[in-house]
Chains A and B, each alone.
Chain A
């Protein structure tokens, strides 16, 4: 084995940046870091915020049960996002699509079931004010996990960066919605679809865009 076999340009580039590196932590540990950011925020909010007035009227499966389901789906999406960041470790595209669709679908179904089981509250001014309030709260809850996950993803090498971003955004928002579902008193379907599902989609688009921008930046250096 001799260094002479390696083309000059490549050898020089490697010798310029030749140092020991510490491998990334295993995927499960990096997922735990993202989940910890989520857990800290959600437990703080649930411990301090008041829960929805009709919580006792809703069946357990629809209140805490659906929140737990949404939380689990959110964590799965965060895990898939982190997996995307390691070359050769990404989940099959079909599984990724299914998980993302399932997360949005479950969020919508929970909204529909809650609208059926709980009386709607009359919203003044077309519900714009409360809607913006929900969007703001959901965004604040989702933001830490979103930022931490994207940080973990972009510090590695996601080969489908937009997909990783979409999963990170979706996971953080769906998990945040799990808590908002227990707090938001408005079960009107238009409110849920526009402001709650809208928040999930917004975070997915934000993640996708961040991933696309990262990919362009990363690979433009190559050409």
Chain B
């Protein structure tokens, strides 16, 4: 998984550099590579797939406007996820101001890694993940489901890698307790 992650990162860097040089095909490549993970990440904030898909467009627009702030050869993912997180938080802030309440729905389809999958069946897991507090599910989804390292999560969320690790550990513990609670 780590090797895949590294290869993917090299590919993203190459696409990002080409995109900065004005290659529209490279933008399409980035969109293809990032669309699904970003919808999953955005879902952790808004808990509604339709809103997450709308925010995806805002996110790509912001990535486009801010493309000169990416400095190669830094990893692309922390840069992308940090902007995505900010777009989502800004949306939540304006939603709170407007006092909007949207229905929550299930997590978009995600390949679940074995350490999570063995906790419970897929449907239960998805429901319980949705029931976790936002910061807990954010770290869990970033690390366990999207394969982002704790170092990178720290850069995305503006916390120390150790803090990200502790949050993920606590979230996983809470998820296990919830699964246990359901089973009892």
Contacts and interface: CB of A to CB of B under 8 A. Distances in A.
**Are the chains A and B members of one assembly?**
yes
Contacts of A26: 71
B64 A14 contact: yes
B31 A6 contact: yes
Residue picked from B67, B68, B77, most chain A C-beta under 10 Å: B68
Interface in B121-149: none
A159 B86 contact: yes
A86 B27 CA distance: 20
Contacts of B79: 86-89
B68 A85 contact: no
B37 interface: no
Contacts, number: 114
Contacts of B119: none
A159 B59 CA distance: 13
Contacts of A92: 154, 158-160, 163
Nearest to B24: A18
A21 B60 CA distance: 16
Chain B interface size range:
35 or more
A66 to B, nearest CB: 29
Nearest to A13: B61
B86 A9 contact: no
A156 B69 contact: yes
B64 A17 contact: yes
Interface string A7-20: 10110011101111
B74 A89 contact: yes
Given A23-B20, A94-B163, A95-B160, 8 more contacts: A5-B31, A6-B28, A6-B60, A20-B21, A24-B68, A88-B155, A156-B69, A159-B86
13 contacts: A1-B29, A3-B28, A18-B24, A21-B67, A86-B71, A86-B79, A88-B156, A89-B74, A90-B158, A94-B163, A156-B66, A156-B69, A222-B58
Interface of A: 1-3, 5-7, 9-10, 13-15, 17-27, 85-95, 156-157, 159-160, 219, 222-223
- Sorted nearest first, the 7 A-B pairs with minimum C-beta distance are A88-B78, A20-B22, A88-B82, A87-B82, A88-B79, A21-B68, A92-B160
